[in-house]
Amino acid sequence: MSGLPTVTDVALAAGVSRQTVSNVMNSPGIVRADTRERVEAAIKELGYRPHASARRLRTRRSSTIGIRLDPMIDGISGSVLDRFLHALTEQADAQGLRVLLFTATSPDDEITQFQRLNDGADVDGFVLTSTFAGDPRTQWLIANGISFVTFGRPWGDDDLNDPQHLWVDVDGWAGLHEATRAQQDAGARRIAYIGWPSPSGTGDERRRGWYDAMMERGDVSAEELARLEIVTTDGVSQGTAAMTELRQNAGRLDAVLCASDSLALGAMIANPGRVPVTGYDNTPVAAAVGLSSVDQAVDEVAAGVLDLLTGEFGGRVHGAPESDEPRHRLITPRLVVREFAAIPMDVP
C-alpha cells in the first residue's frame, strides 16, 4: 500500500465495511465489542488518521478546543499560563484534538469571540483562564449552553459546586500552608508574607495558607503577625520594596514567603542577610536563581481540564449526565525546595 491509509484500507484489514469503520470512529457504542476491537487494531496497525475536514462535515464537530491567549503580564509570572497552554496542547494532540488560539482585549471582547467561533462551528468547547467573581464569560457560556471548562474556580460563595460550571484549580491554600510548615520544621518562627491586595480570590487563598499555618503553630501572636505581612501589587520592584520595609519595621525575620515568584525575586534582591525566601509558581527564573517555590503542577491541571471537557460530562452545561462524580478538580501543588542563592546586587 502506498500513500496515507484510507477508510477502505482499514475496512479491508479488519474485514468489515466502510460504514462499520465510520461507526467505530463516530459511534462506537453501536458496534459489537469484538468487531470494534478488530477495527481499532487495524487503525492502530495502519496508523490511520481521519481527514479532519471530512470528519467535521460528517459529525458537525471540529475536534477543536478554543482558548484565549492571554497578554504577557511579565516574563516571570506570565510563564505559568504559557506552560499550561503547552501542556494542554500536547495532551490534546495525544487525544486527536486541536487547540485554537484567539486573542481578546477584555472579557466582553472574549465573549464576542466565543459567539463568532461558536457560530462558525470552529470549536466544540472552550477553556477559560483567569477567572474572577461574577465572571461574565462563564455566565454567557452557561446561558448559551456552550461547553467549557475553566482553569481557575468560580470565586462566588455559592457557585463552587455549580453543576453547570466545570473547573480545575490549584489549591493555593495547601501550597502556602506546606511552604510555611517547611520553614517552621526547619526552625523558623517569625515567617513573613508578601502578598496581593484583597479581594483577590487566588491571593486570598494563598495568604490564608500562610496565616493558618502560623496560627496553628502559635509562635507569634495575631498582632505580631500583622507586622510580618506586606500587601502590594505584583512585580519584582514591588517585592524589593516590600522586603526593604520588612527589614526596617518587622524585627527579626526567619523566612519570607511570597504570593508569586516575581515578588520573591524582588525580595531576594533586597535580602543581603540571606533570609530564606519562597515564591509561588516555580517559574524558570526561580530555578535559575535557586529560589524555592510552589509548583502549580500544570500538567495535572491540563489533564483535569481535558478529562472534564471530553470525558463523562463533555464540558456540557446543559444535558450533562446525572452522576455523583465531582465536576471539578482541585490539584494539590508541590513545594520545590532549592538551595538558597543570593542575588549579586548591593542594596542598602
CATH of the domain at 312: 3.40.50.2300
Does some domain include residue 337? no
Q: Specify whether 120 is located in the same domain as 207.
A: no
- Give the least confident one: 150-164, 167-181, 203-217, 227-241: 150-164
**Among the listed residues 293, 222, 290, the one whose alpha carbon sits nearest the alpha carbon of residue 257:** 293
Q: Specify whether 124 is located in the same domain as 29.
A: no
- Average of pLDDT values for 307-315? 77
Q: Specify whether 292 is located in the same domain as 199.
A: yes
Does some domain include residue 348? no
- Residue 67 C-beta-side C-alpha neighbours within 13 Å: 26
d(CA 30, CA 246): 67
Q: Specify whether 308 is located in the same domain as 290.
A: no
- Average of pLDDT values for 182-204? 94
Flag whether pLDDT at 52 surpasses 70. Answer: no
Q: What is the pLDDT, as a whole number, of residue 343?
A: 47
Q: What is the pLDDT, as a whole number, of residue 346?
A: 44
Q: Quick one: what percent of the chain has pLDDT higher than 90?
A: 56
Query: In which band, very low, low, confident or very high, does the pLDDT at 50 lie, cut at 50, 70 and 90?
Result: low
Residue 146 DSSP label: -
Flag whether pLDDT at 76 surpasses 70. Answer: no
Flag whether pLDDT at 57 surpasses 50. Answer: no
The CATH number for 28's domain is: 1.10.260.40
DSSP helix/strand/coil, 101:
strand
Does some domain include residue 343? no
- Average of pLDDT values for 147-160? 80
∠ CA 308-92-160, nearest 5°, is 25
Flag whether pLDDT at 25 surpasses 90. Answer: no
Query: In which band, very low, low, confident or very high, does the pLDDT at 184 lie, cut at 50, 70 and 90?
Result: very high
Q: Specify whether 134 is located in the same domain as 147.
A: yes
Does some domain include residue 182? yes
- Average of pLDDT values for 192-200? 94
Flag whether pLDDT at 157 surpasses 60. Answer: no
249, containing H or E segment:
helix 236-249
Q: What is the pLDDT, as a whole number, of residue 169?
A: 94
The backbone torsions φ and ψ at residue 171, rounded to the nearest 5 degrees and listed phi first, read: -80, 90
Query: In which band, very low, low, confident or very high, does the pLDDT at 310 lie, cut at 50, 70 and 90?
Result: confident
Q: Specify whether 275 is located in the same domain as 309.
A: no
The number of angstroms, rounded, from the C-alpha of 51 to the middle of its chain's C-alpha atoms is 31
- Average of pLDDT values for 81-93? 92
Q: Tell me the Cα Rg of the chain.
A: 25
Domain count, the chain: 3
d(CA 66, CA 117): 8
Cell of 330: 482541585
Q: 27 versus 274: which is more confidently predicted?
A: 274
Q: Specify whether 187 is located in the same domain as 99.
A: no
- Give the least confident one: 59-63, 126-130, 206-210, 296-300: 59-63
Q: Which domain holds residue 69?
A: 64-170+298-330
Does some domain include residue 237? yes
Residue with cell 482558548: 67
- Average of pLDDT values for 49-66? 62
Q: Specify whether 89 is located in the same domain as 157.
A: yes
Q: Specify whether 265 is located in the same domain as 305.
A: no
Q: What is the pLDDT, as a whole number, of residue 321?
A: 64
Query: In which band, very low, low, confident or very high, does the pLDDT at 133 lie, cut at 50, 70 and 90?
Result: confident
Cell of 200: 483577590
Q: Specify whether 115 is located in the same domain as 158.
A: yes
- Average of pLDDT values for 146-169? 83
Amino acid 293 reads S
What's the whole-number average pLDDT of the chain?
86
Query: In which band, very low, low, confident or very high, does the pLDDT at 201 lie, cut at 50, 70 and 90?
Result: confident
Strand partners, 220: none
Amino acid 186 reads A
DSSP helix/strand/coil, 125:
strand
Flag whether pLDDT at 344 surpasses 50. Answer: no
Does some domain include residue 338? no
Does some domain include residue 86? yes
Q: What is the pLDDT, as a whole number, of residue 1?
A: 37
pLDDT tens-digit profile of 266-302? 999 998 778 999 999 999 989 988 999 999 999 999 9
The backbone torsions φ and ψ at residue 105, rounded to the nearest 5 degrees and listed phi first, read: -95, -10
Q: Give the DSSP per-residue string, 188-216.
A: --SEEEEEPPSS-HHHHHHHHHHHHHHHH
Q: Specify whether 38 is located in the same domain as 86.
A: no
Does some domain include residue 305? yes
277, 296, 315 - which closes a domain: 296
pLDDT tens-digit profile of 163-178? 788 999 999 999 999 9
Flag whether pLDDT at 68 surpasses 80. Answer: yes
Q: Specify whether 286 is located in the same domain as 176.
A: yes
